[in-house]
Chains A and B, each alone.
Chain A
Amino acid sequence: MPAFPPRSTPRKAALALVLLAGLVAGSGCTVANSDSLTGGADGALQIALQQEPPTLEPCESSLTSTGIVVRSNITEPLVERDPTSGALKPLLATGWKATDDHTWTFTIRDGVRFHDGTPFDAEDAAFSITRAVGSKLGCNVDGYVFADSKLEVSAPDARTLTVKTKDPDPILPLRLSFLEIVPTGTNTTSKVREPVGTGPYKVADWDSGISLRLDRFDGYWGTKPDYPAVRYVWRTENSIRAAMVASGEAGIAVGLGPEDGAGDLGVAFPNNETTALRMDVNVTPLNDIRVRRAVNYAIDKNGIVESLFLKLGEPAGQLVAAGVVGHDPAIKAWPYDPAKAKALVAEAAAAGVPVRTPITLIARTAQFPKVAETAEVMQEALSQAGLNVKIKMLDTAAHLEYQLRPFVRDAGPTLLLIMHGNQAGDAAFTTSQYLKSDGPQSQYGTAALDEMIAQAGEKTGPERSQAFGKVLAYQNENVVQYAHIAHMRGLIGIASNVRYKPNSASTDELRLAEIHPAE
């Protein structure tokens, strides 16, 4: 028989519980890792992002999670692209002109100061370009915007900057609209986490894991923005970001889907993103153009847009959306014709193509709303056409192994579901990446297509747009590396007390000066 316990045991247990309760309560109900925050009653605009910026390094601002905070808010480029009209506008440069085929000259704005009080001049602009382009820092803006460009930069005087290119580059000012200016003396051997810039806001407090606060910069050279401060917070879950706007906790919530619950506060906008399947043309059965055409005919793009994207998009026939130089409205989406798809696969099979070889359809988890369902719909459609397709869902890093060179070896035939965003507004950035035979994200191309891309890149004005339109049409008719699905539309939550009109760049560059309190 068990012995009776000593009388004091319940008291000891109670004491232990009280001590434990005291431990929790003793923290004043303050959550660890959240000490330096001040609450929200300071007139700050709260913005809910999908993820915390990994860094605020300006030369990484072509990364969405960094650029959405940094670009034109903390730092500024020399010129700025109007996302609606596509026109370039003066920012830290007041003017620019091509002085010969290889040289551009910029006039630098006077009266601009950095957040640390130092004046901005052409030396800073030259330093910023040299620091980011072709340097050992490994900046993302270098790879995405400048690719193999070789630049010679000089500042003959405080207000003049000249940039020489190895090859003629008619869109150099557009490229420079992605390069944020930092002061001379910024670290050149490692990236900076909290930059100094000339923008309307400066970094005030970054509490890692919790929030980032920017304060209005009183010494800003341009029109002062309305909000005295902006606080960014990050919530991975879409429905929570939507709830934050609905409950008034946040003024803006980015990256929402149609079923996240933002209701009337969700505002749709074209975001220049296009979804497509990239086909591995080097492996059977996808090395047969009939099979690749069959893939295009088999997919019901309208059905996907209507049922899965809830009309937030439109069927696509090319990799660049309307508004991007090179987009050709005459290129329509491939018609949905399952009978023709089936016939093409049968024809290929009759010619000895092993059409039943298993094909892997690779998609990225959470790449866009309903991505898994989209993959399943396409798998079923392609199976109906006579192909043998299996789905593989991967996270971002694993998906990049397939998306970027050097590609995964011996992966068998693959259909890679990609989403391409052309925020630069010129098809040169798309074709050099996705269509050129040696493009970092292209698995196939032809000499003729490469030549067309090179020639289009040297043209300007309407001729340039037409030339790139021909490149995109040639892809569809003669190369067929892609089966385009949809030009997507984004959804942003805007609280009733905030006024903001989203544009095609809002996903990557949320300009705080364009956000106002509602009247």
Chain B
Amino acid sequence: MLTFVRRRIVSSAVPLVVVILGVFCLARLTGDPAKLYLPLSATPQMREDFLARNGFDKPLIEQLWDYLEGLFTLDFGESLRTGQDAAGMALRAFPATLQLAGATMLLAIVGAVLIGSWAAYKPNSLADRLSGLLSMAAASMPDFWFAIMGVLVFAVTLGWLPTSGVVGGPEVWVLPLLTLLIRPFGVLVQVVRGAMVSALSAPYVKVARSKGASEPRVVFGHALRNAAPPVLTVAGDLTVGLVNGAVVVETIFGWPGIGKLMIDSILQRDFAVLQAAVLITAVTIFALNILVDLCHALLDSRVRQAVTA
């Protein structure tokens, strides 16, 4: 297993390096931040001072070296916009996104396993058709539209929930969670249903039934374990998408997460914060991918044997 982990780390390190270099180069292609931060009548001297103060007057290779040095000490410099420590800003924002993504995927997986298995248990039944319709609708729902309609109905018209914000009790979670949940839930229900339909028709299920296993044990003990790998792959992909920044939800609901921070940093040419936010996100996604692969190996001995061979 250690060999497997080592191989995965090595193969993931290359894309990580590409991301680190890519964000540095692409950020600098977006233009000169001096115009955003200096007054209209800034003199050439003020401009030079600004560039020197923020290290933009150095040759690009030297700026890159400073950036790479900073990676090891988590020192990305100061935010041009707020003057605060860039790494601190990213590290403060990231847990808010992780919480939201974690809670969303937890609910999506549990809900999808229950409903997808129920639909697959009796293919073409009313339950199957109903879950198919609902999951298709959920998977195709535009999240920004759902969010705005949710605010209109539940916050403005009924007054049951707050419109936005993060201060308060569990009620502040409801609309952001539902908005973020709806698409992964729809996709996962379809994946679980498909995988379970083929698992439940496999010979080992008939053997289990003939040996007197109860139906819940047949479905959740035998079939689900064998249907899990494709579900895990899709769920991993969806989780990566959420960790990468639930930008729409964070923007609409004023959620102080990493996606909103990244967008603001791009718009404000705040290179230090952008670099810090992208790196933290990339490392997390890198770790998440290894975790998904490990789970795959644990669930399927064929994968385990293939990678350790």
Residues of chain A having any CB pair with chain B under 8 Å: 1-5, 7, 9-10, 17, 20-21, 23-24, 27, 29, 31-34, 37-40, 54-55, 136, 138-144, 147-148, 190-191, 193, 208-211, 233-237, 239-240, 243-244, 246-247, 249, 261, 395-398, 400-401, 404, 433, 440-441
Residues of chain B having any CB pair with chain A under 8 Å: 30-33, 35-42, 46, 49-50, 81-84, 89, 92-93, 95-96, 98-100, 102-103, 106, 109-110, 148, 151-152, 155-156, 159, 162-170, 172-173, 202-204, 208, 220-222, 224-226, 251-257, 260-261, 267-269, 301
Contact indicator B42/A237 (Cβ below 8 Å): no
Would you list the 4 A-B pairs with minimal beta carbon distance, nearest first? A143-B39, A32-B95, A209-B256, A31-B166
- Main SS of the interface on chain B? helix
* Given known A-B contacts A397-B33, A397-B267, A138 and B208 have beta carbons under 8 A apart: no
Number of residue pairs A-B, CB distance < 8 angstroms: 182
The distance in angstroms between the C-alpha atoms of A209 and B173, with both chains bound, is: 17
The distance in angstroms between the C-alpha atoms of A518 and B30, with both chains bound, is: 48
Name the CB-closest residue of B to A53: B82
- Known A10-B224, A243-B164; 19 more pairs at CB < 8 Å: A4-B204, A9-B221, A10-B220, A23-B102, A24-B106, A29-B170, A31-B166, A33-B92, A33-B93, A55-B81, A147-B41, A235-B252, A237-B148, A244-B164, A247-B163, A397-B35, A400-B36, A401-B35, A433-B40
Contact indicator B170/A240 (Cβ below 8 Å): no
Q: Which residues of A contact B167 (CB under 8 A)?
A: 34, 37-40, 210-211
Chain B: minimal CB distance from A303 (Å):
29
Chain A: minimal CB distance from B61 (Å):
24
Residue among A136, A138, A401 facing the most chain B CB atoms (10 A cut-off): A138
The distance in angstroms between the C-alpha atoms of A9 and B151, with both chains bound, is: 41
Q: Which residues of B contact A10 (CB under 8 A)?
A: 220-221, 224-225
Contact indicator B204/A246 (Cβ below 8 Å): no
Name the CB-closest residue of B to A394: B31
The distance in angstroms between the C-alpha atoms of A391 and B97, with both chains bound, is: 36
Q: Which residues of A contact B252 (CB under 8 A)?
A: 235-237, 240
Contact indicator A401/B221 (Cβ below 8 Å): no
The distance in angstroms between the C-alpha atoms of A441 and B39, with both chains bound, is: 12
Q: Which residues of A contact B202 (CB under 8 A)?
A: 2
Chain B: minimal CB distance from A167 (Å):
15
The distance in angstroms between the C-alpha atoms of A192 and B92, with both chains bound, is: 21
The distance in angstroms between the C-alpha atoms of A396 and B35, with both chains bound, is: 10
Contact indicator B42/A1 (Cβ below 8 Å): no
Chain A: minimal CB distance from B15 (Å):
27
Q: Which residues of B contact A20 (CB under 8 A)?
A: 102, 106
The distance in angstroms between the C-alpha atoms of A237 and B172, with both chains bound, is: 17
Name the CB-closest residue of A to B226: A2
Q: Which residues of B contact A3 (CB under 8 A)?
A: 301
Contact indicator A138/B39 (Cβ below 8 Å): yes
Contact indicator B172/A31 (Cβ below 8 Å): yes
Contact indicator B39/A140 (Cβ below 8 Å): yes
Q: Which residues of A contact B166 (CB under 8 A)?
A: 31, 33-34, 210
Contact indicator B103/A247 (Cβ below 8 Å): no
The distance in angstroms between the C-alpha atoms of A37 and B152, with both chains bound, is: 26
Chain A: minimal CB distance from B43 (Å):
9
Contact indicator A1/B96 (Cβ below 8 Å): no
Contact indicator B95/A240 (Cβ below 8 Å): no
* Given known A-B contacts A17-B110, A55-B82, A237-B252, A142 and B39 have beta carbons under 8 A apart: yes
Contact indicator B169/A34 (Cβ below 8 Å): no
Q: Which residues of A contact B172 (CB under 8 A)?
A: 29, 31
Name the CB-closest residue of B to A147: B41
Chain B: minimal CB distance from A72 (Å):
21
Q: Which residues of B contact A24 (CB under 8 A)?
A: 99, 102-103, 106
Name the CB-closest residue of A to B49: A136
* Given known A-B contacts A2-B204, A33-B92, A40-B167, A54 and B81 have beta carbons under 8 A apart: yes
The distance in angstroms between the C-alpha atoms of A17 and B114, with both chains bound, is: 14
Chain A: minimal CB distance from B59 (Å):
21
Chain A: minimal CB distance from B305 (Å):
12
Q: Which residues of A contact B226 (CB under 8 A)?
A: 2
Determine which of B35, B42, B82 lies in contact with A138 in the assembled complex, contact meaning CB atoms within 8 Å. B42
Chain B: minimal CB distance from A415 (Å):
20
* Given known A-B contacts A4-B208, A396-B267, A190 and B83 have beta carbons under 8 A apart: yes
Contact indicator B82/A54 (Cβ below 8 Å): yes
Name the CB-closest residue of A to B172: A31
Q: Which residues of A contact B41 (CB under 8 A)?
A: 142-144, 147-148, 440
Contact indicator B173/A4 (Cβ below 8 Å): no
* Given known A-B contacts A208-B92, A236-B251, A397-B30, A144 and B267 have beta carbons under 8 A apart: no
The distance in angstroms between the C-alpha atoms of A191 and B162, with both chains bound, is: 36
The distance in angstroms between the C-alpha atoms of A205 and B39, with both chains bound, is: 28
Determine which of B35, B89, B95, B148 lies in contact with A239 in the assembled complex, contact meaning CB atoms within 8 Å. B148
Q: Which residues of A contact B96 (CB under 8 A)?
A: 31-34
Residue among B99, B162, B222, B257 facing the most chain A CB atoms (10 A cut-off): B99
Q: Which residues of A contact B203 (CB under 8 A)?
A: 1
Name the CB-closest residue of A to B154: A247
Q: Which residues of A contact B100 (CB under 8 A)?
A: 31
Q: Which residues of B contact A433 (CB under 8 A)?
A: 40
- What are 18 residue pairs bridging A and B, where the CB atoms are less than 8 Å apart in the complex? A10-B224, A27-B99, A33-B166, A54-B268, A136-B46, A138-B42, A143-B40, A144-B40, A193-B82, A208-B256, A209-B93, A233-B165, A235-B164, A247-B159, A247-B162, A261-B156, A401-B32, A440-B40
Contact indicator A249/B163 (Cβ below 8 Å): yes
Q: Which residues of A contact B261 (CB under 8 A)?
A: 209
Determine which of A55, A210, A249 lies in contact with B83 in the assembled complex, contact meaning CB atoms within 8 Å. A55
Contact indicator A397/B268 (Cβ below 8 Å): yes
Q: Which residues of B contact A209 (CB under 8 A)?
A: 92-93, 256, 260-261
Chain B: minimal CB distance from A260 (Å):
10
The distance in angstroms between the C-alpha atoms of A38 and B167, with both chains bound, is: 8
Determine which of B31, B109, B254 lies in contact with A398 in the assembled complex, contact meaning CB atoms within 8 Å. B31
Determine which of A23, A34, A139 lies in contact with B39 in the assembled complex, contact meaning CB atoms within 8 Å. A139
Q: Which residues of B contact A55 (CB under 8 A)?
A: 81-83
Contact indicator B35/A400 (Cβ below 8 Å): yes
Q: Which residues of B contact A190 (CB under 8 A)?
A: 83
Q: Which residues of A contact B95 (CB under 8 A)?
A: 32-33
Chain A: minimal CB distance from B11 (Å):
26
The distance in angstroms between the C-alpha atoms of A27 and B96, with both chains bound, is: 11
Name the CB-closest residue of A to B203: A1
Residue among A10, A32, A141 facing the most chain B CB atoms (10 A cut-off): A32
Contact indicator B255/A31 (Cβ below 8 Å): yes
Contact indicator A17/B106 (Cβ below 8 Å): yes
The distance in angstroms between the C-alpha atoms of A433 and B253, with both chains bound, is: 38
Determine which of A138, A191, A240, A401 lies in contact with B151 in the assembled complex, contact meaning CB atoms within 8 Å. A240
